[in-house]
Structure formats: C-alpha cells, structure tokens
C-alpha cells in the first residue's frame, strides 16, 4: 500500500490546487514549456490556437491551451534552481500523486518539459544570436546535496570541482535524447554550466570581486570526451537532475544573448528569443 504523504509535506491550497503553482491536475498538459520571466509567458501563448486556462501565483504564471490540436502548457518559473526544485516537484505531484488521498499513483506518467531561456556563451566562436540545446548540464549549486545520488557519468562534475577548487561535488545530468533528436540543425549542441547566481557565480565583478578568479576563462578551456563547455545560465542542471530522478523527459533550449569572451550582448535579443520560441513550438507541437 502506498505511503500517505502528510498534509504538511504535500501542501494544497483551499481550492485543492498544489501550493506554489496554484494548479490542479486538469490545468496541466503533458507537454510543458517553461520560461523564467513571467512576462514571457504571453510571448509563447500568443502562438497558441486557443487558451483554455490562465493562472498565477507569485512568479508562477501558467497558460494552457491548444496548438495544432495538441494540448500544451507554458509557465514561468522565476530564476534559479531553488525555483526549479519547487516547480519540478509540484508538476510531478500533479500527475503522479493522488491529491485527494495524498498517495503516489501506482502508474507513473512522464511529462515532456522544455525550457526556453537565455544564456551567455563562454566560447568566442558561439556568437550572440545563436540557438543552443544543452546536451549535458553541470550544476555548481548545492541542490543535489539534498537528493539521491544521480546515476551516470559525472566526469564533468569532477573536472569542474577540481578546476575551481570547490568543497563540494557539482552534479551532471543530460537532456532527453528523444527530445534532442527532433531539433533542426540550426541548434548548436553544448555543455551548459548552471550557476547559483548571476554576478560572482558567473564571474562578474561590479563592486565585489569574485572569489574565483578568471572562472569563465578557466572553465572554457576544459575538455571532456571531445566536448568543451559552451554556455552558462541558472536553471538547466536543476531541471535535468530533477527530471532524471523523477522520470520526466527534459530539454533546455538557450538563446545566446551574451558572449563573454568577446564582450558582446545581442542587440536583437528579443528577436532571437522569439525565433527560438517559434521554432520550438513548431517542432514539438
């Protein structure tokens, strides 16, 4: 018999919706696109043929509708793997936990979850305006210190730890091969670094000098299995790790809006993002 999850662990709102996302199971499609910025949700859902549901709580904005006959959800997450952990746990609960009995369902459902985000390039030959799919992601945040061990190759994790002299082991997880295979050739493939912040954790100096000097340059020089680290952002590794543990198919697509080695920022970042959104909807819907 399935364990009954205490109400203090699986928290519901008064209307029976899941606590942070404020969604009920019927509000969610099995294909989910995620964006960081709440204002970006409408930039995705404007392409839907119809919108059947709109909801919002805190930074989590959700639109569910149909495109080309396929039911699809787009929702915002805010920034960082702490938000991703909440999102992934509650999305999984919506499909794999009976919210009325607080028990895990006997048959598990896998969601297709595709992140549509912005990212910075750490390689000079990956220009702004490019689109990149994260084939592998390495997290230098500590989220996975609190979850079961991730199975599979952790070579990048060990390499990053040794290079930066970290006191903990980063974590490594991969995209869904099935979702990755559907992408057109215009998408570069890469190894993505997920950082726990935007400034010092990504080697930026404003008034405070980062403790890890020349961090991006040092990581850009690394090579493992014939691959180099290509880009950095703040969510992908959390998505991939939680997806691997929970059994969902994950993919992170990145609009490259900054190139750190060249000191460039994409002056048409919104157009680059819109091109990625339009392409992703066309491929997966």
Q: Which tokens belong to 217?
A: 């340059």
Predicted local confidence at residue 1, as pLDDT: 60
How does pLDDT run along the chain (285 residues), one tens digit per residue? 678 999 999 999 999 999 999 999 999 999 999 999 999 999 999 999 999 999 999 999 999 999 999 999 999 999 999 999 999 999 999 999 999 999 999 999 999 999 999 999 999 999 999 999 999 999 999 999 999 999 999 999 999 999 999 999 999 999 999 999 999 999 999 999 999 999 999 988 999 999 998 999 999 999 998 899 999 999 999 999 999 999 999 999 999 999 989 889 889 999 999 999 999 999 999
Predicted local confidence at residue 270, as pLDDT: 93
Is residue 67 within 8 Å of 49, Cβ to Cβ?
A: yes
A 10 A CB-CB count for 145 gives: 9
Predicted local confidence at residue 55, as pLDDT: 96
- In order, the DSSP letters of 192-236 are EEE-S-SSGGGT--SSSPPSSTTHHHHHHT-EETTEEEEEEESSH
Predicted local confidence at residue 263, as pLDDT: 86
84 to 60, 66, 133: CA distances (angstroms): 11, 24, 18
């Amino acid at each position: 018999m399935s364990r009954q999850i205490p109400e203090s662990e699986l928290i519901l709102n008064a209307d029976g919706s899941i606590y942070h996302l404020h969604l009920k199971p019927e509000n969610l499609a099995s294909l989910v696109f995620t964006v960081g910025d709440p204002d970006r949700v409408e930039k995705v859902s404007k392409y839907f043929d119809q919108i059947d549901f709109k909801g919002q709580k805190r930074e989590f904005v959700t639109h569910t509708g149909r495109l080309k006959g396929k039911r699809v959800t787009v929702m915002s997450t805010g920034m960082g793997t702490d938000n991703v952990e909440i999102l992934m746990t509650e999305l999984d609960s919506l499909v794999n936990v009976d919210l009325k009995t607080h028990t895990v369902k006997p048959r598990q459902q896998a969601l297709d979850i595709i992140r549509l985000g912005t990212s910075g390039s750490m390689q000079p030959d990956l220009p702004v305006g490019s689109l990149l799919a994260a084939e592998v992601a390495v997290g230098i945040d500590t989220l996975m210190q609190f979850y079961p061990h991730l199975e599979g190759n952790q070579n990048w994790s060990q390499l990053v730890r040794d290079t930066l002299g970290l006191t903990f082991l980063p974590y490594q997880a991969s995209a869904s091969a099935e979702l990755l295979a559907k992408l057109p050739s215009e998408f570069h493939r890469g190894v993505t670094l997920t950082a726990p912040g935007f400034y010092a954790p990504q080697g930026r100096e404003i008034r405070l000098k980062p403790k890890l000097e020349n961090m991006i340059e040092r990581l850009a020089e690394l090579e493992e299995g014939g691959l180099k680290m290509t880009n950095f952002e703040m969510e992908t590794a959390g998505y991939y790790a939680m997806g691997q543990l929970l059994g969902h198919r994950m993919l992170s697509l990145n609009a490259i809006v900054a190139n750190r080695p060249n000191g460039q920022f994409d002056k048409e970042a919104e157009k680059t993002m819109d091109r990625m959104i339009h392409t992703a909807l066309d491929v997966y819907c």
